[in-house]
Structure 1
Amino acid sequence: MLRREVFKSAAILPIASWLSCNATADTKSEAYPEQAISNLCRRLKPIGRILELEGYYVWCNTPIADDDGKIHVFYSRWPARKGMGGWINSCEIAHAVADSPEGPYTTVDVPLAPRGKGYWDATTCHNPHIQRVGDTFHLFFMGNSNGKTNTKRIGLATAKSLEGPWIRPDKPLLEPGAEGSWDDHCTTNPSYIAHPNGESWLYYKSWNTADYTNGSGRIRGNRKYGLAVAHRVDGPYRRHAENPLVDYSGLGENRQCEDAYVWREGGLFKMITRDMGVFNHDVGLYLESRDGIQWSEPQVAYYELAHYFDQPPAPKHLRRYGRLERPQLLFQGDRPTHLFGASQGGKFQTASGIVLALEEN
């Protein structure tokens, strides 16, 4: 039995006990068992919305500080007329700058836009994740070629400056696995770690195309997280033998997660993701690992949005209202200082960025 399988089997019972504690509760912070709340969650304080843009849905806000202390955010946006589903076939990645994490932000350029027929990223560019490695900025992202999920692929654009120019890849960075594997449908939601041993570690989300649950019929897959490793940032990447590393399908009821962000701090690997049923669909999950392979039982990484902000009632066209999704961290110096995310709503009742401050321990 693989170490991963032993770990998963041991983890299910404690998770199940937390779930039973919360089975009849609402989604208020008081509903969660004390041991289920992470230290990170306790340190988060609300700042507000950013990048509320008329005529656009805004998603996937990934921040980075430059050498002068200015904050750059690379974010996904698509025309409001496309509705929430426009991310899959009409999205581009824009770049905004501010003097402080709370803004205000000014959009300065569009580094990545769909390139049209014949390209692997023909119809959308989404899921930006910015990292500086050495003297080069690396903008990981997802593109697709047919406006559907089955051609989602992770790519990598590079530049010597946050202002560009960005060198666009001719091929994806990571293709799906072989037919029938857990990750045969796509590769998406990248999160990158420069490992202390000199390797490049790329965490990614995928699922199996023909996934079934309890014989009840075909679903849209159960999202899991895997790892691909390379000697260079630009690959080639090889899949880790113990994939998938984060898999909640064994808990039943199609529990899963997505939107993982991975970092190293205090000698540990740490991960925040959006929950998709482990506790509920409105909070984040927090995990830790000593080796980046075997991950702890999840705790709550952040609460539902109503814990931080008062909002008007949900309009009928926003069915994911109240969730904080796509968590990404801003590092200033050597520590994370703010959590950036995205949520439906805002001034124009589309979607915008969200910023929470992360207080020091």
Structure 2
Amino acid sequence: MKRRYFISGMAMLSAAGLLPEIAIAGDSNPVKAATNPAEGTGNVSEFSKHLTPLGRALEMEGYYVWCNSPVEAEDGRIHLFFSRWVATKKMGGWINGSEIGHAVAESPESEFRFKEVILAPRGPGFWDATTCHNPLIKKVDGKYCLFFMGNSNGKTNTKRIGLATADSLDGPWKRPDQPLLEAGETGAWDDHCTTNPAFIKHPNGQYWLYYKSWNTSEYENSTDPIIRGNRKYGLAIADKLEGPYKKYAGNPVIDFSHKGGNKQFEDAFIWREKGKFKIIARDMGIFNHEDGLIMESRDGIKWAEPQIAYYDAAHYITQPAPPSYLKKYGRFERPQLLFQKGKATYLFTTSQGGKYMTASPFIFRIT
């Protein structure tokens, strides 16, 4: 049995006052007694022990809200870039109707207010004709960089990573006419797509872009009852921000397929801390399909064994039974970190459910 600790009443009251759109005890998804990590397993990260669940934010009636990427502006306000699609499409709308929006809050624990849609599908003839998804906001070399995924046919095989840039978080955004990174040649491990971007400027001045992909043949012929194909991460490196990005010869750099059981990895976010590279991501079978993973590396290529970064939703909150159309209910996906003064202060995730029974951000304070 897992031991329990309780969030203090004062902390709960503080959160309730600061997060008007986030569910606190008494709402539809109350924060409950969190569970201490099991001791002595070696699989639990120190990171997981410093998360205080705050609850949901930016719940939008009539929409699924996904892929939430935060950044602090120079005035201290928090800008959130997120993907959304109309609720009538159900969860599958991410692949054939997602758009990328922009919301702003005075602080990470204040109300996020929707500002505008900044990237929407452009229609026939464009590489991002049918969806814009997976936003990742970074400030690089004095400009704001919005990495994202687009596709041209409403399917996974045309997913490609692109890069939009702006001098201000309020735009205007320069939209790319071509993808930043193409898929591999037929038969390659990454011949299906490039998606789920993770980015870091290397200390040596290079620009490192991590991307998710898989092999088309494995995907089409998969007999896995849970997830088709086997998702891995590759690395592409450029001398200039805008590219060209050359794929690392030793790709994929993260590959769990040798562990058996079709273990996989997705939704990576990368940063550097105390001289090491760190990645947080969603588990796809290492421990289960509900937890998050965290790994570290000295060189950004060879990674230590994964540990648990965070747990499933039931570990932190009490939720009502899900409707039948929510198949990913109860887990946190798309982990992204907010940095303030160079320190990771909040973990932003997304999760199905909430007051509209669609999907919305779920935020943790890092203590």
TM-score of the aligned structures, taking structure 2 as reference length:
0.88
Assess, with a 3 A threshold, how the Cα gap between structure 1 residues 57 and 215 changes in structure 2: closer, same or farther: closer
Partner of 2:144: 137
Alignment partner of 1:342 out of 330, 350, 359 = 350
Assess, with a 3 A threshold, how the Cα gap between structure 1 residues 32 and 281 changes in structure 2: closer, same or farther: farther
Q: Give identity over the alignment, percent.
A: 61
* Cα distance, 1:48 vs structure 2: 1.0
Alignment partner of 1:125 out of 122, 126, 132 = 132
For 2:173 and 2:268, how far apart are their aligned partners in 1? 24
For 2:251 and 2:39, how far apart are their aligned partners in 1? 30
- Once the two structures are superposed, the pairs formed by residues 15-30 of structure 1 within 5 Å of their partners are none
* Cα distance, 1:215 vs structure 2: 8.7
For 1:221 and 1:33, how far apart are their aligned partners in 2? 33
Alignment partner of 1:199 out of 203, 206, 220 = 206
Partner of 2:234: 226
- TM-align CA RMSD: 1.7
Render the CA deviation track for 1:165-197: whole Å, top value 9, x for unaligned: 000000000000111111000000001101110
Structure 1 stretches of 4+ with a deviation exceeding 4 A read 28-33, 212-219
For 1:165 and 1:179, how far apart are their aligned partners in 2? 37
In the alignment, is the contact (CA less than 8 A) between 2:222 and 2:228 conserved in 1? no
1:279 aligns with 2:279: no
1:266 aligns with 2:287: no
Assess, with a 3 A threshold, how the Cα gap between structure 1 residues 140 and 32 changes in structure 2: closer, same or farther: farther
Render the CA deviation track for 1:284-335: whole Å, top value 9, x for unaligned: 1110000000000000011111111111112211110001000000000011
Letter in 2 for 1:289: S
* Cα distance, 1:103 vs structure 2: 2.7
* Cα distance, 1:283 vs structure 2: 0.3
For 1:153 and 1:335, how far apart are their aligned partners in 2? 31
In the alignment, is the contact (CA less than 8 A) between 2:127 and 2:152 conserved in 1? yes
Render the CA deviation track for 1:190-241: whole Å, top value 9, x for unaligned: 0110111000000000000011799958973100011000001111000011
Render the CA deviation track for 1:243-263: whole Å, top value 9, x for unaligned: 101111111111101000010
Alignment partner of 2:189 out of 175, 182, 196 = 182
Letter in 1 for 2:339: F
Letter in 2 for 1:291: D
For 2:193 and 2:223, how far apart are their aligned partners in 1? 23
For 1:308 and 1:266, how far apart are their aligned partners in 2? 29
| 5+ residue gaps, structure 1 | 1-27
Partner of 2:248: 240
For 2:44 and 2:145, how far apart are their aligned partners in 1? 33
* Cα distance, 1:102 vs structure 2: 2.4
Partner of 1:21: none
For 1:155 and 1:355, how far apart are their aligned partners in 2? 26
In the alignment, is the contact (CA less than 8 A) between 2:37 and 2:44 conserved in 1? no
For 2:40 and 2:259, how far apart are their aligned partners in 1? 18
In the alignment, is the contact (CA less than 8 A) between 1:125 and 1:142 conserved in 2? yes
In the alignment, is the contact (CA less than 8 A) between 2:68 and 2:135 conserved in 1? yes
Assess, with a 3 A threshold, how the Cα gap between structure 1 residues 177 and 33 changes in structure 2: closer, same or farther: farther
Letter in 1 for 2:121: P
Assess, with a 3 A threshold, how the Cα gap between structure 1 residues 213 and 121 changes in structure 2: closer, same or farther: closer
For 2:358 and 2:43, how far apart are their aligned partners in 1? 32
1:312 aligns with 2:301: no
Partner of 2:298: 290
Partner of 1:211: 218
| 5+ residue gaps, structure 2 | 1-34
Partner of 1:84: 91
Assess, with a 3 A threshold, how the Cα gap between structure 1 residues 252 and 32 changes in structure 2: closer, same or farther: farther
For 2:152 and 2:228, how far apart are their aligned partners in 1? 19
Assess, with a 3 A threshold, how the Cα gap between structure 1 residues 353 and 216 changes in structure 2: closer, same or farther: closer
Render the CA deviation track for 1:249-285: whole Å, top value 9, x for unaligned: 1111111010000101110000011001100000011
